[in-house]
Amino acid sequence: MAVATGAIRLDHVTKRYAKVVALDDLSLSVDHGVFGFLGPNGAGKTTAVKILLGLTRPTRGSGSLAGGAFGSKASLGRIGYLPELFRYQSWLTAREVLALHCELAGIARARWPSEIDRILATVGLADRGTSRVGTFSKGMQQRLGLGVALLDDPAVVLLDEPTSALDPVGRHDVREIIRVLRERGTIVFLNSHLLSEVEQVCDAVAIVDRGKVVAQGDLAQLLRTSSVRIRASGISRDARAAMGRFGELDDGADGAVLIKGIERERIPDLVSAIVASGARVYAVEPQHESLEERFLSLLGQ
């Protein structure tokens, strides 16, 4: 892979803990949009984010975040981060937590009240600003954590499982927030194992399993491999052989044939081949493969 450029860059990063390899020669580059970093639990997603933030050091490899070295003040000054294990000072109010982060982020004091108001409204906590964090539900704490990550419009926002504690309304809200961020030009790095969510908001994804990237690219490109259902009569042995060259065959109960793992651009060729073999085609129905199906098939490999 060519050396990556961009706002988020990991070049051949390996992380080993004693005998466990958390990340194995991971390379990726994100310079715009919403990037989904997907994988099952324990795949190394959080380790990758912690390396970007300098909280953990890579065993090998290099990279950068928001134009600065991992963990450098220059880099950390331009990013927002919602940890997977989010917890905020229970003895402070939501406003005080945000004020603390305003101060740590170096935001001018005069701007704090308006910035805090804006953030509380964005994450739906406008009426709970003066409540102690200790009285918050997990979902409210996660909303607050998202607010902390969004303070001062950072250039890059890293969200590690941002909806793990949220109900369906909360998840919807987070998707809307991410869409607004994308429109504003913010780069969002989204760690998740909730595929339907990722599918709805991400421009590009990398699927990681046991520390290795198993697939990476635009979502549309990644889901290009699909399946197609063919209804035809007079399918000879030769016709089946011809179809088998395009993908794995699966006979449906209704007499149709499903060809799995075919790229969309090859569907017309498939139809030509079937017709050339003498069969009569009644219907061609491309099937949309969901990210989940793709994910499971990749992990199964």
Partner 1 sequence: MRAVLVVARQVVNEAARRRLLLALVLLTLVVIALTVWGVSRVDDLRNAGQPLSDAQKKTIVSQLLILVMFMFSWVLSFAALFVAAPAVSGELESGVALAILARPISRAEYVLGKWLGLAAVVVVYGLTAAVIELVAVQAVSGYQPPHPVEFLGFVLGEGLVILTFALALSTRLAGMVGGVVAAILFGIAWLGGIVGGVGAAFNNATITHVGTATKLILPTDGLWRGAVWSLEPSLVIAAQSQLGPAVAANPFFAAEPPPAPYIAWAMAWIAAMLLLAIWSFRSREV
Name which position in 44, 83, 124, 170 contacts partner 1 (CB under 8 A): 83
Is 89 among the residues that bind partner 1 (CB under 8 A)? yes
Min dist. Cβ of residue 165 to partner 1 (A): 13
**Residue with smaller CB distance to partner 1, 92 or 267:** 92
Is 138 among the residues that bind partner 1 (CB under 8 A)? no
Q: Footprint of partner 1 on residues 236-275 (CB under 8 A)?
A: none
Min dist. Cβ of residue 297 to partner 1 (A): 34
**Residue with smaller CB distance to partner 1, 106 or 300:** 106
Quote helix, strand, coil % in the chain, to nearest 5: 40, 30, 30
Around 194, how many Cα atoms within 13 Å sit in the side-chain half-sphere? 17
**Is the distance from CB of 175 to CB of 205 less than 8 angstroms?**
no
Spatial separation of the C-alpha atoms in residues 19 and 16, rounded to whole Å = 7
**Residue with smaller CB distance to partner 1, 91 or 300:** 91
Min dist. Cβ of residue 78 to partner 1 (A): 9
**Residue with smaller CB distance to partner 1, 92 or 249:** 92
**Is the distance from CB of 262 to CB of 270 less than 8 angstroms?**
yes
Min dist. Cβ of residue 208 to partner 1 (A): 20
**Is the distance from CB of 56 to CB of 50 less than 8 angstroms?**
yes
Is 147 among the residues that bind partner 1 (CB under 8 A)? no
Identity of the amino acid at 276: A
Name which position in 37, 70, 86, 246 contacts partner 1 (CB under 8 A): 86
Secondary structure (DSSP) of 107-155: --GGGHHHHHHHHHHHTT-GGGTTSBGGG--HHHHHHHHHHHHHTT--S
Is 108 among the residues that bind partner 1 (CB under 8 A)? no
- Nearest of 189, 154, 163 to residue 28 by alpha carbon: 189
Is 103 among the residues that bind partner 1 (CB under 8 A)? yes
Is 284 among the residues that bind partner 1 (CB under 8 A)? no
